[in-house]
Amino acid sequence: MGKRSGVPDTDEAVAKLSFAELEAEISRCPLGYQTGGSSQGRKSFFKRLVWLESQREKLHGIPAPRRDFRQR
């Protein structure tokens, strides 16, 4: 089997990240959401952004903003 990417994709993996690492992952998502190639790619980045922000809220108490995929 090949190596998996270093991107955290479980609640446990996100919990192990430092606050700065989590912020870096969150800040990477809007760029992919806005410039991602296919509509599936853009939606995937958007869903990841929403999920990471909810994890940040749960772990660090920073409220996650409400987001709507249709409004970029």
| pLDDT tier at 2, thresholds 50, 70, 90 | low
Q: Please, which residues have CB within 8 angstroms of residue 38's CB and are 6 or more apart in sequence?
A: none
Segment 42-67, tens digit of pLDDT? 899 999 999 999 999 999 999 999 98
Q: Is the pTM of this model over 0.75?
A: yes
Sign, CA torsion 67/28/61/54: positive
Q: Is 36 helix (H, G, I), strand (E, B) or coil?
A: coil
Segment 18-42, tens digit of pLDDT? 999 999 999 998 888 888 778 898 8
Query: Residue 11 above 70 pLDDT?
Result: yes
The tokens of 33 are what?
């959401």
Say if CB 44 and CB 6 are below 8 A apart.
no
First to last CA, the chain: 37
